[in-house]
Amino acid sequence: MDRLTRLLAAEPVRVTAVLRLPLIALICVLVWVWEVDHWLPEVYIVVLGVWAVAAVLWLVLVTRRPVLPRWADWASTGIDVLVVVVLCLVSGGATEALLPVFFLLPIAVAFQDRPLLTALLGVGTAAAYLAVWIVYSKRDDSVGLPNVVYTQFGFLLWSAVAMTALCVVLVRRQARVITLQDVRRQLVSEAMQADERHNREVAEHLHDGPLQTLLAARLDLDEARERVDDPALEAAYTALQQTAAALRSTVTELHPQVLAQLGLTPAVRELVRQFEARGEHVVDADLEEVGKPDSQQLLYRAARELLTNIGKHAGASTVRVTLSRVHDRIVLTVADDGCGFDPAVVDRYVADGHIGLGSLLARFDAMGGSMEVRSTPGQGTTVIATSPPEGELSPREQTQSRIDSA
């Protein structure tokens, strides 16, 4: 089961954990207003109290952990059924008030997105309901086993079937959503690869064509300058130098050789060096060796776009760039002490055609990564870009990482 599936599976557990608390509160209120004699009142109070405390602790646990063990869904609901049965068995007339709780349990089970489990717990709930009535009829001859019990038992079985059918529908819809996400991720990946191939072809054309022509013309002009002292030749030579430098910069932006040959960390390090060379910012860089991850093009674009935005808009004096591997993901963080902005305006910028940051957000989301923008006007900006799951470092990259960190 991949991480996305496990994250989706944890959501129903959180839903039932939240729904469990008001259910316990209702049971407490119901028993309090229902004036009855208990068989084992002390045991009843202890069981109800332990259940309430455990429910609160469970809610805190499932809220803080993004991924839960596979047994969390069926175990939590199974315990609910068991506790309600115990409460019924240790109580007297209060059982009459507690019996409707059995009708609520199959609904909670349906959130588990596991049809077979939903069917088993639903049928088990119906069986537990019937068992409680049988116990009462045996212990108290005056209670008996009314015919309505069989009708209610049938309703519980129907609820189990209905919740199982609902669960099947939810599972199928979830599968379609995951399939669409996979297709979207593949399309974005193919689009980025096509974009990269186009950039490489354009860069090679510029390097082998116009740039070489400019360099040859500059060489001829340099020879002419040695023979003739003419200000016009000097101006033309300077213009050729500037044009060649700009063309080299364009070729590098279209297809950075350092990224293709050495990997993401040296490429980001070169970006930081060029950014700091402009003399407008102090850059604190902490770049861990991460090899050549599959998403290096995406992360490199993010670093370049974020540094460009800082240079154009942030008005910052200090910039911090970090690159690290956290488990199976690569995390790039770019922070500045500039003017900041309201992250909510990003969507409006996209609508107005300013798609730089908005495009990055969409790409990371489509590829299974994430980009978090933390910013407040006047208090700087921090952007945390997290890659999709990556493979482990190769032995050669692990060795290089140890050398770089030494």
Residues 374 and 309 placed together within one structural domain of the fold: yes
**What is the span of the domain harbouring residue 248?**
188-254
Q: Nearest 5°: CA angle at 260, between 328 and 195? A: 90
pLDDT tens for 287-301 read 888 888 888 888 888
- So what's the pLDDT on residue 118? 81
Same domain, 8 and 134: yes
273-298 burial: b if 16+ Cβ within 10 Å, else e? eebbeeeebebebebebbbbbebbbb
Long-range contacts of 4-8 (CB under 8 A, 24+ apart): 4/178, 4/181, 4/368, 5/178, 6/67, 6/68, 7/66, 7/67, 8/113, 8/174, 8/178
User: Are 30 and 164 in a shared domain?
Assistant: yes
Q: Mark whether 248 and 289 lie in a shared domain.
A: no
Distance CA 387, CA 303 (A): 12
pLDDT of residue 356: 65
pLDDT of residue 402: 45
Same structural domain, 262 and 329: yes
Asked whether residue 17 falls in the same domain as residue 149, the answer is yes
Question: Domains in the chain: how many in total?
Answer: 3
Q: At 83, which helix (H) or strand (E)?
A: helix 72-90
* Same-domain status, 25 and 146: yes
CATH number for position 399: 3.30.565.10
- Closest by Cα among 302, 333, 309, 332 to 192: 302
Report the chain's terminal Cα–Cα distance, integer Å: 37
180-199 pLDDT, tens digit each: 877 776 776 677 667 767 76
Are 122 and 165 found together in one domain? Answer: yes
Per-residue pLDDT, 137: 76
Please report how many Cα atoms fall inside a 13 Å half-sphere around the Cα of residue 10, on the Cβ side: 18
- Residue 290 DSSP code: -
- pTM, two decimal places: 0.54
Structure tokens that stand for 29 in this block: 């209120």
Domain match, 155 and 79 both: yes
Q: How far is CA 172 from the centre of its chain?
A: 22
Q: What is the dihedral of CA 170, 176, 181, 185, to 10 degrees?
A: 160
Tell me: do 118 and 12 sit in the same domain. yes
Query: 337 near 326, Cβ under 8 Å?
Result: no
Helix (H) and strand (E) counts in the chain = 15, 5
Q: What is the pLDDT of residue 405?
A: 43
Tokens of 173: 């819809």
Distance CA 102, CA 89 (A): 14
Rounded Cα distance between 324 and 317, Å, is 24
74 vs 118: CA distance, rounded Å: 9
Q: According to the model, what pLDDT value does residue 1 have? A: 40
pLDDT the model gives residue 404 = 47
Rounded-to-integer distance, Cα 153 and Cα 130, Å: 6
Distance CA 87, CA 201 (A): 73
Single residue among 152, 184, 216 that ends a domain in this structure? 184
Q: Are residues 119 and 210 in the same domain?
A: no
User: Distance between CA atoms of 226 and 28, rounded to whole angstroms?
Assistant: 100
205, 239, 254 - which closes a domain: 254
Question: For 243, how many CA atoms within 13 A lie in the half-sphere containing its CB?
Answer: 16
* Four-residue CA torsion sign, 174, 176, 178, 180: negative
With CA atoms as reference, report the closest residue to 375 among 321, 406, 323, 339.
339
Which CA distances in Å does 17 have to 207, 218, 231, 259?
61, 74, 82, 47
User: Both 396 and 261 in a single domain?
Assistant: yes
Which one of 184, 217, 234 terminates a domain? Answer: 184
Q: Consecutive 10-residue runs of the chain (406 residues): their mean pLDDT?
A: 51 79 82 64 85 92 78 78 81 64 68 77 84 77 74 86 84 81 72 71 75 79 76 79 77 68 83 81 86 83 85 83 87 87 66 61 78 83 85 52 46
Type and span of the H or E element at 270: helix 264-277
65 token code pair: 């952990």
Distance between CA atoms of residues 123 and 77, nearest Å: 13
